[in-house]
Structure formats: C-alpha cells, structure tokens
Amino acid sequence: MILQERLQLAFQQLGWVRVPDILHQLAEEASKQNISYLEFLDKLLQEEIFAKNDRYIRTRTRLARLPYHKTLSQFEFSFQPSIDERRIRDFATLQFIEHQENIVLLGPPGVGKTHLAVALAMEAISKRYSVYFITAHDLVQSLQEAHRTNTIRRKLSLFTKPDLLIIDEI
C-alpha cells in the first residue's frame, strides 16, 4: 500500500475531512518555508479542529430550528433604549444555563425579543450547549397531539432535553 493510500485510509478512520483537502497544499508551504514538523502537524490539526467545530455549529444550528440567524452584535440597542444592554450582555455569558435559571423576555411586538433570544441561542450553540426553538403555538399543538396519541412522555422529554429551550410568541 503506498503512502498516499495509507494516509487516506487513516484520515477516513479518524473521521478527518479537512486535512485530506489541504494536506498537499500545506506540505508544499511547509517545504518552501522550512516549517518544522511540529508546526506542520499543528497547522493540520488546527485546520481539522476548525472544520469540525464549524460543522458542529452548522448542524446544531439546524437542529435548533431557529427562525433565522442573528447575533448580539447585530442588535441595535440604540434603537430600543428600553432594553438594558448590560443585562442582555450578562445573559450572553450563559451563566443562567449553568445555574438552570429561566429568562423571560417580555414586551410588545417589534422590540427585538426574538432577535435577542436567537442571539443567545447562537451564543449557546457556539459554547456547545444544545438548543431548541419552538413557538408557543407549535408547542401547545405538539403537546396536544402527543396527549391525544399517548406519547406525551416522549414529547416532554424532547422539550426538556436541550440545555436551552426557547419558546417564542410568534
């Protein structure tokens, strides 16, 4: 078995997807720039870690069923002076998840409650917390259907399993 085949098999067994794509390019760069073996290995590993983290975030974001993707940096606090920016930034530390506390965002339509909830969800996903988003209407319908079909325990476990459950009024 030639070296290239052995490497491809090893990458496959390790579940590496990024390194096979960039190995040749990084090896050439390392040769031209006289990079040490350890530096070369570090670059390869960092690329693979970055790719795995990126896939994790994309997958978890999709599974969270967020209505859109917004971050806290995209929120215009100046547009909504009634919102305590310091408190929201404190929520973004996600200590409330660690302390198993709830947050309730109340206010009239159009003030940014969903945006803030989604931003906190995105932050939680990036910190490897599990997140699930559902509207109150869909939650009630889902629970009613589960009660009717005698699957309420299973449905409740779906809603109690995530680290962060967002129930929106939409």
CA–CA separation, 63 and 34 (whole Å): 44
Structure tokens at 17: 């997807």
**Model pLDDT, residue 1:** 62
CA–CA separation, 10 and 22 (whole Å): 15
**Model pLDDT, residue 81:** 86
CA–CA separation, 82 and 79 (whole Å): 9
Task: List the chain domain ranges.
Answer: 3-64, 72-168
**Model pLDDT, residue 3:** 86
Structure tokens at 28: 């050439």
Strand pairing class (164-168; 131-135): parallel
What residues form DSSP beta bridges with 131?
A: 164
DSSP three-state, residue 164:
strand
DSSP three-state, residue 36:
coil
**Model pLDDT, residue 48:** 94
Hey, what CATH topology would domain 72-168 get? Rossmann fold (3.40.50)
pTM recorded for the entire structure: 0.81
| Helices 19-33 and 3-14, packing angle to 10 deg | 130
- Please report, in tens digits, the pLDDT of each residue of the chain (170 residues total): 688 888 889 998 999 999 999 999 999 999 999 999 999 999 999 999 999 999 999 999 999 999 999 999 999 999 888 899 999 999 999 999 999 999 999 888 888 999 999 999 999 999 999 999 999 999 999 999 999 999 999 999 999 999 999 999 86
Q: How buried is residue 25: exposed, middle or buried, by Cβ count under 10 Å (0-12/13-18/19+)? A: exposed
